[in-house]
Amino acid sequence: DKGNHRHFMQKEIYEQPVVVAQTLRSYLSRIDARVSLPIPEFDLGAIRRVTIVACGTSYYAGMVAKYWFEQFARVPVDLDFASEFRYRAPVMEDGGLALFISQSGETADTLAALRHARGEGQKIAVVVNVPSSTMARESDLLLPTHAGPEIGVASTKAFACQLAVLAALAANLARAKGRLSPEEERDIVRHLEETPAALNAALANDPAIEAMAHVIAGARDVLYLGRGTDYPLALEGALKLKEISYIHAEGYAAGEMKHGPIALIDENVPVIVIAPSGPLFEKTVSNMQEVQARGGKVVLISDAEGIAQAGEGCLATIEMPKVHPLIAPLVYAVPVQLLAYHVAVAKGTDVDQPRNLAKSVTVE
Ligand code: F6R
């Protein structure tokens, strides 16, 4: 049932504040301001390396997690697409954790990778949205997302809930490694608890995004740029646009532009820049200005501070709430989802059932 929404995708985008709150409730303990995961049958503190494997949008959630695990827990992280991982003779030492992320829990490539990692003596953790799925049954540590059934082929709310679980796992791993003080953990819990309200504030941009969608709908190519955890979001934004609007899009690490892709820039290529104010802002803005100097039309997604500093000369700006960097990837997912959605609606494509795609990919 779509309720009063036109498409399941739109409904699922709007469900995010509620389902993220729901997911966080099972991973945060309010009373002692701690992260609480299901107790694994192995010692998280003994983990020396994490291998993250997934496909598509779930892979981009894994990419955000790589930044978090390395930053908070100082554990080295290997990340791969399931379809590459399985066939590249990956090196996995004893004492490693292999983490699989999947909405459906049935994606054939991810499942094959899971079984391969088990054969290599890895502990198996899974982040899945379907608790009765095959991956859930074959795990040593089951970390469910509580997004509820996701019907739209383009993943939205499952991605947000995956990030919520992965942030909790990052904090738990950091504590197990002796790298997180109780004060730091309390801060992380506090920031995560701010997420649902920030998601609501992000959704308030819907009319502004809808109003500019026709400009993007007329483009043949669109670029998305970001740094740090906004880089996976740039990739995710491009994937969303491609799959439902059929417009060619690419996500790039902002600093990579000058190593090639900037040659593509002219006044016909809109560039979506994902840049919350913060430590990486200045650098991203200088990449953005390189684009503008070549006639590129920029849509800047930032907070009031960032827009005040760099919004001038942009085709459009989308003003996000000011959020802690930890939760920024969850919150900044909303405008890229809404943009893809409205562009697809403007183009008249089948938003919930894009051509050539299936919700669950059960062939390798
Ligand atoms: C994109 C999308 C796909 C899936 C991918 C993995 O919007 O939905 O890229 O993310 O097929 O599926 P799961 O997460 O079920 O393993």
For ligand 1, the distance from its centroid to the CA atom of residue 58, given in whole angstroms, is 6
Residue written as token pair 């919004």: 311
What lies within 8 Å, CB to CB, of 15 at 6+ separation is 147, 148, 157
| Among the listed residues 209, 206, 200, 187, the one whose alpha carbon sits nearest the alpha carbon of residue 325 | 187
Q: What is the pLDDT of residues 63-114, one digit of tens each?
A: 999 999 999 999 999 999 999 998 999 999 898 999 999 999 999 999 999 9
CA distances from 333 to 75, 159, 229, 266 (A): 26, 9, 11, 26
- Which residue puts its alpha carbon closest to atom 5 of ligand 1? 56
Q: How far apart are CA 336 and CA 239, in angstroms?
A: 10
Active site residues: 359
Q: What is the pLDDT of residue 32?
A: 86
How much is the average pLDDT of 11-33? 95
Distance (Å, rounded) from C-alpha 72 to C-alpha 132?
31
Q: How far apart are CA 241 and CA 341, in angstroms?
A: 8
For residue 96, give the 3-state DSSP assignment.
strand
pLDDT at 342 (0 to 100): 98
The response to whether residue 104 sits with its C-beta less than 6 Å from ligand 1 reads: yes
- Asked if 215 and 315 count as a contact pair (C-beta separation under 8 A), the reply is yes
pLDDT at 364: 82
Residues 6 or more apart whose Cβ sits within 8 Å of residue 86: 109, 112, 113, 116
d(CA 14, CA 199): 9
Given phi > 0 = left and psi -120 to 50 = alpha, else beta, which region is 121? left
Ligand 1 atom 9 nearest Cα? 56
Looking at residue 214, its pLDDT comes to 95
Which is nearest to 215 in space by CA: 343, 335, 348, 334?
343
Residue 22 near residue 16 (C-beta atoms within 8 A): no
Q: Identify the pLDDT of residue 337.
A: 98
- pLDDT tens digits for range 305-346: 999 999 999 999 999 999 999 999 999 999 999 999 999 999
Residue 352 binned pLDDT confidence (cut-offs 50, 70, 90):
confident
ipTM for the predicted complex: 0.99
166, two tokens: 């992965």
Helices 230-245 and 56-68: angle between axes, nearest 10 degrees: 170
Q: Tell me the pLDDT of the chain averaged across its residues.
A: 96
- pLDDT confidence of residue 276: 98
Q: What is the pLDDT of residues 213-245, one digit of tens each?
A: 999 999 999 999 999 999 999 999 999 999 999
Query: Is 133 close to ligand 1, i.e. is its CB under 6 Å away?
Result: no
Task: Give 277-316 pLDDT, tens digit per residue.
Answer: 999 999 999 999 999 999 999 999 999 999 999 999 999 9
Which residues in 164-182 are b (16+ Cβ under 10 Å) and which e? Answer: bbbbbbbbbbbbbbeebee
Q: What phi, psi does 352 have (nearest 5°)?
A: -80, -20
pLDDT at 151 over 90: yes
* Ligand 1: centre distance to CA 101 (Å): 10
pLDDT tens, residue by residue, 254-274 = 999 999 989 999 999 999 999
* C-beta of 129 in contact with ligand 1 (< 6 A): no
Beta-carbon contacts of 152 under 8 Å, excluding residues fewer than 6 positions away, are 7, 8, 9, 11, 12, 351, 352
- Indicate the top mutation candidate among 101, 361, 363, 364 to test ligand 1's pocket, ranked by most ligand atoms within 8 A of CB: 361
Query: What is residue 40's predicted lDDT score, i.e. its pLDDT?
Result: 87
The three-state secondary structure class of 360 is coil
Q: What is the DSSP letter of 307?
A: H
Q: Does residue 150 have its Cβ closer than 6 Å to ligand 1?
A: no
Q: What confidence score (pLDDT) does residue 356 get? A: 87
Q: Separation of 178 CA from ligand 1 center, angstroms?
A: 34
Cα–Cα distance between 11 and 148 in angstroms, integer? 12
- What is the secondary structure of 48-93 as a DSSP string? -EEEEEE-HHHHHHHHHHHHHIIIII---EEEEEHHHHTTS-----
Give me the pLDDT at residue 358, please: 83
State the DSSP string of 167-193: HHHHHHHHHHTT---HHHHHHHHHHHH
Ligand 1 center–CA 158 separation, angstroms: 9
**Length in residues, the chain:** 364
pLDDT value for 241: 98
pLDDT-derived band at 275, boundaries 50, 70, 90: very high
**Residue 199 clears pLDDT 90, i.e. is over it:** yes
Q: What percent of the chain has pLDDT over 90?
A: 90
Residue 360 has pLDDT above 90, yes or no: no
For the Cβ of 12 lying below 6 angstroms from any atom of ligand 1, the answer is no
Establish whether residue 145 lines the binding site of ligand 1, counting it when its CB lies within 6 angstroms of any ligand atom: no
pTM of the predicted model as reported, rounded to 2 decimal places? 0.97
Ligand 1 neighbour 155 (Cβ under 6 A): yes
Amino acid at 257: M
